[in-house]
């Protein structure tokens, strides 16, 4: 067996002074790519240690999901000696420093970009904020659901006759962590060419606005105010979850050719030549009538029955699965994206990329609060 090649960020060191979800997720992504990541928590620990009820090794599962593969430090930046330890760690080891402190806090402890990069010009400094580093709200705090509301995402999520809904997962937090990691890697690439570091800024609001790109672009071009379509979408029909005999089945016909194939797979080829449905533009105008026909048809058989027929005709579909069904799904298992580094852990989602056919291996579990503080004394 050939040796496993080194991961892309092997040899790089990241120091993160982070809390909650977005910035810790950025650090974990870098750890997945091979970086040595030092997670610094305040006394009492990261807030995510107390999110929910499920406990494992003294912390909630959320903390473990977001902080695998990191060294665990606990330092009080209000204590001059411990703050000096953090500065020494950054100066001596860090290629990257990440924080999501409130605006103004970093400067209070000389952890701002100007101070750190004046001492270490090659440092890649990443600040993860809420509303962004400019503008009248730049100093305000913010969290994922607040940004889903502020950005307009919630105005488009849910059913039209019910209150707005947030996405069921933390799309803003994890998206911001992903953008932060991308910015850091880009800055490291530039450093490799130019020899100098960079200050990377990202925020929850900027991520949320990016997810709104299609809707904001439509409105800016003079389009209609967005509506809520539940599992559907405003500009494609049919595209929503329909009830089959044993649960919901998601259909989405992104072009007219797929709609023809859908009608054939459902046993109603005549629908595709109906003047109300012959192209997407008129289907949008007669959405309710089309939905009624599809619902009456699909409810007659289970999801598997329809999926077999539609797959045979080249029509994409997907069951609306529960979390338990996802964990048991053979396609998910085949990808090998769920894993653990030892039998004593629970399966967690790994890195969503493979390199030359190999996915980075599962990370070791998150550490207990301050378990690696002794390593600082050894420096």
Say if residues 249 and 298 touch (Cβ distance below 8 Å): yes
Determine the average pLDDT of the residues in 129-146: 92
pLDDT at residue number 110: 97
Q: Domains for the chain: give ranges and CATH numbers.
A: 13-211+338-377 (3.40.50.10540), 239-319 (3.30.1540.10)
Rounded to 10°, the helix 303-312/256-265 angle is: 120
Does position 252 have pLDDT exceeding 90, yes or no? yes
227 neighbors 237 (Cβ within 8 angstroms):
no
Using a pLDDT cut of 90, give the percent of the chain over it: 75
pLDDT of residue 192: 94
Q: What is the pLDDT of residue 1?
A: 45
Q: With 50 as the cut, is the pLDDT of residue 222 above it? A: yes
Q: Tell me the per-residue pLDDT of 49-97, one tens digit each, with 9 for 90 and over.
A: 898 767 777 788 899 999 999 999 999 999 999 999 999 999 999 999 9
Question: Measured between alpha carbons, how far is 333 from 116 in angstroms, rounded to an integer?
Answer: 44
Three-state SS annotation for 304-364? HHHHHHHHHCCCCEEECCCHHHHHHCHHHHHHCCEECCCCCCCCEECCCCCECCECCCCCC
Q: Cβ neighbours of residue 211 under 8 Å, at least 6 residues apart? A: 151, 153, 171, 172, 175
% of the chain exceeding 70 in pLDDT: 97
pLDDT of 184 reads 98
* Position 100 pLDDT exceeds 90: yes
| 225 pLDDT tier (thresholds 50, 70, 90) | low
The catalytic residue positions are 173
Is residue 341 scored above 90 in pLDDT? no
* Cα→Cα distances 280→227, 236, 252, 292, 329, Å: 18, 7, 12, 17, 33
Q: What is the mean pLDDT of residues 232-256?
A: 92
Res. 224: pLDDT tops 80? no
Given a cut of 80, whether residue 227 has pLDDT beyond it is no
Question: Mean pLDDT over residues 143-150, rounded?
Answer: 94
Residue 199 pLDDT level (bands cut at 50, 70, 90): very high
Q: What is the pLDDT of residue 3?
A: 59
* Average confidence (pLDDT) over 364-372: 91
Residue 131 pLDDT class (50, 70, 90 cuts): very high
At which residue do the structure tokens 């389009």 appear? 223
Q: Residues 348-364: pLDDT tens digits?
A: 899 999 998 899 999 99
* Predicted confidence (pLDDT) per residue in 2-54, tens digit: 556 789 999 999 999 999 999 999 999 999 999 999 999 999 999 888 987 67
Q: What is the pLDDT of residue 308?
A: 95
């Amino acid at each position: 067996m050939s040796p496993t090649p080194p991961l892309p960020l092997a040899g790089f060191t990241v120091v993160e002074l982070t809390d909650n979800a977005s910035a810790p997720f950025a650090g974990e992504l870098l750890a997945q790519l091979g970086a040595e990541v030092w997670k610094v928590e305040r006394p009492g620990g990261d807030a995510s240690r107390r999110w929910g009820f499920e406990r494992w090794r003294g912390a909630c599962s959320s903390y473990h999901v977001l902080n695998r593969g990191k060294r665990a430090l606990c330092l009080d930046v209000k204590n001059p000696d411990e703050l000096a330890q953090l500065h020494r760690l950054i100066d001596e080891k860090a290629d990257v420093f990440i924080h999501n402190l409130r605006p103004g806090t970093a400067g209070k402890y000389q952890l701002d970009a100007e101070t750190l990069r004046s001492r270490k010009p090659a440092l890649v400094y990443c600040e993860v904020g809420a509303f962004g580093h400019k503008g009248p709200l730049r100093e305000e705090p913010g969290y994922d659901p607040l940004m889903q509301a502020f950005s307009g995402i919630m105005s488009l999520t849910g059913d039209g006759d019910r209150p707005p809904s947030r996405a069921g997962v933390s799309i803003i937090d994890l998206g911001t962590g992903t953008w932060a990691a991308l910015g850091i890697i880009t800055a490291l690439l530039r450093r490799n060419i130019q020899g100098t570091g960079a200050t990377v800024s990202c925020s929850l609001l900027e991520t949320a606005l990016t997810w709104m790109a299609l809707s904001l672009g439509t409105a800016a071009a003079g389009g209609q105010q967005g509506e809520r379509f539940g599992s559907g979408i405003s500009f494609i029909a049919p595209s929503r979850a329909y009830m089959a005999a044993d649960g919901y089945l998601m259909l989405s016909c992104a072009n007219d050719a797929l709609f023809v194939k859908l009608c054939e797979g459902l046993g109603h080829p005549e629908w595709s030549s109906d003047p109300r449905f012959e192209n997407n533009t008129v289907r949008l105008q007669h959405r309710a009538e089309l939905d009624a026909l599809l619902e009456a048809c699909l409810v007659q058989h289970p999801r598997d029955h329809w999926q077999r027929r539609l797959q045979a005709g080249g029509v994409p579909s997907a069951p609306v699965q529960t979390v338990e069904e996802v964990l048991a799904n053979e396609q998910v298992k085949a990808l090998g994206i769920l894993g653990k580094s030892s039998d004593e852990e629970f399966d967690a989602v790994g890195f969503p990329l493979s390199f030359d056919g190999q996915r980075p291996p599962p990370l070791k579990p998150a550490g207990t609060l301050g378990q690696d503080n002794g390593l600082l004394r050894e420096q």
